[in-house]
């Protein structure tokens, strides 16, 4: 058996040495060390070896197995080095490296984060609420009459349950006043939904940023100063801002806010950017009724609210002509923000 073991080892080492690739090397391993390999079968016959010879034969088997295993590992390393060199053959290491594409935040994310940072510096805290709302929080509490166009099914997404996709983030203002007593100073960024025909300036889902400040002696100059500061921080210190009288059910007096947009090669023009006003006392009364107390007594507290579209802010900031570019995920458009 000793001669047989030595012959198997010699033949195995020769096969390993001659292996040209990892597949032929694995074939050599299986032929010797596999379940039906030559060395495995010989090892199974050690039970028939006389007792006095078993130790010597066992040592010879172990030595053969160790030598063959070491040769297999060494050959595998050598074959992989050869394969690596072959893979690199012909590569010109002096060629310049390929440029890596750097990603960026979406323009809506950029404008939202910057707007939040500005308002937080002014003492506004972040607030959030559900996107699926009921009519009380979306309309009734905001002094919106039953026949208002926004409550029509042609303008708003309703569910069979009677709930709806919120048409503005003003519902977050209502929920905040229900759960907190004044003073309150919050901003509510988030999605809103309306049944608008999709075109260059309208989407059925858009992004809003609304704010609310309620306390004692909150005045119209507070509102004006807050929004002028915010818009000049966002668009530049020389930005011209104007307030035009308007109507909203939930504020009185109410205003539209415009900024003067200057585009190279074009005459400056005023662009509507936001709505705002002093909170209507009827809103405070609805909140008190919901809370079942008089925390928002219109005789003691006042407040202002404002709202603007983040999509519109982004379009003005970067001169984007078509709002659909903000949702199409066209890399050719988005890469300019990298």
| Separation between Cα atoms, residue 55 and residue 2, nearest integer Å | 12
Known binding-site positions for Mg(2+):
252
Tokens 């923000």, residue located: 337
Q: 62-79: string of b/e by CB count within 10 Å (b at 16+)? A: eebbeebeebbeebbeeb
Higher pLDDT residue, 208 or 11?
208
Known binding-site positions:
252
- Tell me the per-residue pLDDT of 198-231, one tens digit each, with 9 for 90 and over: 899 888 999 999 999 999 999 999 999 999 999 9
| Separation between Cα atoms, residue 191 and residue 197, nearest integer Å | 17
| pLDDT (mean) for 71-81 | 89
| pLDDT (mean) for 36-62 | 76
| Separation between Cα atoms, residue 79 and residue 85, nearest integer Å | 10
pLDDT grade for 10, boundaries at 50, 70 and 90: confident
- Tell me the per-residue pLDDT of 146-195, one tens digit each, with 9 for 90 and over: 888 888 888 999 999 999 999 999 999 999 999 999 999 999 999 999 99
The rounded radius of gyration (Å) of the Cα atoms in the chain is 38
- Tell me the per-residue pLDDT of 311-327, one tens digit each, with 9 for 90 and over: 999 998 888 889 999 99
pLDDT of 326 reads 92
Whether 100 shows a pLDDT value over 90: the answer reads no
Whether 263 shows a pLDDT value over 70: the answer reads no
pLDDT grade for 264, boundaries at 50, 70 and 90: low
Query: Which secondary structure element, helix H or strand E, spans residue 172, and what is its range?
Result: helix 170-179
Q: How far apart are the first and last CA of the chain?
A: 74
Whether 50 shows a pLDDT value over 80: the answer reads no
pLDDT of 230 reads 96
Kindly report the average pLDDT of the chain as a whole number: 89
pLDDT of 222 reads 96
Contacts of 236 (CB under 8 A, 6+ apart): none
């Amino acid at each position: 058996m000793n001669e047989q073991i030595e012959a198997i080892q010699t033949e195995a080492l020769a096969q390993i040495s001659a292996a040209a690739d990892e597949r032929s090397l694995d074939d050599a391993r299986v032929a010797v060390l596999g379940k039906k390999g030559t060395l495995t079968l010989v090892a199974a016959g050690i039970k028939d070896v006389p007792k006095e010879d078993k130790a010597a034969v066992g040592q010879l088997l172990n030595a053969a197995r160790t030598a063959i295993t070491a040769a297999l590992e060494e050959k595998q390393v050598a074959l992989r080095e050869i394969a690596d060199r072959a893979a690199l053959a012909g590569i010109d290491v002096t060629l310049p490296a390929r440029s890596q594409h750097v990603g960026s935040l979406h323009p809506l994310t950029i404008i939202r984060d910057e707007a939040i940072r500005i308002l937080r510096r002014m003492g506004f805290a972040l607030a959030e609420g559900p996107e699926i709302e009921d009519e009380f929080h979306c309309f009734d509490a905001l002094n919106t009459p039953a026949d208002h166009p926004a409550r029509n099914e042609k303008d708003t997404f309703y569910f069979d349950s009677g709930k709806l996709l919120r048409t503005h983030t003003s519902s977050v203002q209502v929920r905040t006043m229900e759960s907190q007593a004044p003073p309150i100073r919050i901003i509510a960024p988030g999605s809103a939904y309306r049944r608008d025909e999709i075109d260059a300036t309208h989407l059925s889902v858009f992004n809003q940023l609304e704010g609310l400040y309620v306390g004692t002696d909150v005045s119209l100059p507070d509102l004006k100063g807050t929004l002028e500061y915010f818009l000049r921080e966002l668009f530049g210190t020389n930005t011209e801002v104007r307030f035009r009288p308007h109507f909203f059910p939930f504020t009185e007096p109410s205003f539209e806010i415009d900024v003067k947009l200057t585009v190279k090669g074009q005459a400056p023009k005023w662009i509507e950017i936001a709505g705002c006003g002093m909170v209507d006392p009827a809103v405070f009364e609805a909140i008190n009724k919901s809370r079942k107390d008089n925390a928002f007594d219109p005789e003691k507290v006042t407040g202002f609210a404002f709202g603007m579209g983040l999509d519109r802010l982004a379009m003005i900031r970067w001169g984007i002509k078509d709002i659909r570019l903000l949702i199409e995920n066209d890399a050719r458009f988005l890469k300019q923000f990298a």
